[in-house]
A and B are shown apart, each in its own frame.
Chain A
């Protein structure tokens, strides 16, 4: 059974601070790793992808991957109230995404 574990939260972070979201996965065959953001009642929106060990930065977002530890993280710098959402971690393996249940992030003004 392929599994993806995320802390369900909610994770409460002050506006302007760094939000840190974590994810562990069980399938060592996973080839790609994605972070999606989902607002309540909406479909998931792709915000970051990472394919190799290390860090990948895109604007205020940094994804980190450690395949040996089967660990993926997402850092959001200068958090804004509009970042309040559920963040879903999704490794890709065998033509499907395996999803965690998501971490609810709340940015406090």
Chain B
């Protein structure tokens, strides 16, 4: 059974650009959650997708958007990048109702905005 995989591992973007981060969920897991972790801080919840629909969102502006595909993989899109978007972006997958038993995260994508 494969775990959660994220790509790319690192990338550097310029302020104002757009970026897409990808997440492949663990086999059979139909719920995907995204978190942002700035340096020296705990992760912050961005949103969660279940069956291709967003069903929960944290305090992030609309320029953070996502998609979930029929195979349950997911994308996080960020438009009009700002310097403060520099962070580690984490993806976790779960089955409905099981997230309360704990997530396993992917290895993350380190985004640097210059």
Contact = CB atoms under 8 A, between A and B. Distances in A.
A101 B104 contact: no
Contacts of B99: 92, 95
Interface in B87-109: 88, 90, 99-108
Contacts of A45: 105
Interface residues of B, number: 25
B101 A43 contact: no
A49 B102 contact: yes
Interface string A56-100: 000000000000000000000000000000001010101111111
Interface of B: 33, 35, 40-45, 48, 55-56, 58, 88, 90, 99-108, 110
Interface of A: 4, 31-32, 34, 41-46, 49, 88, 90, 92, 94-102
Contacts of A41: 110
B105 A96 contact: no
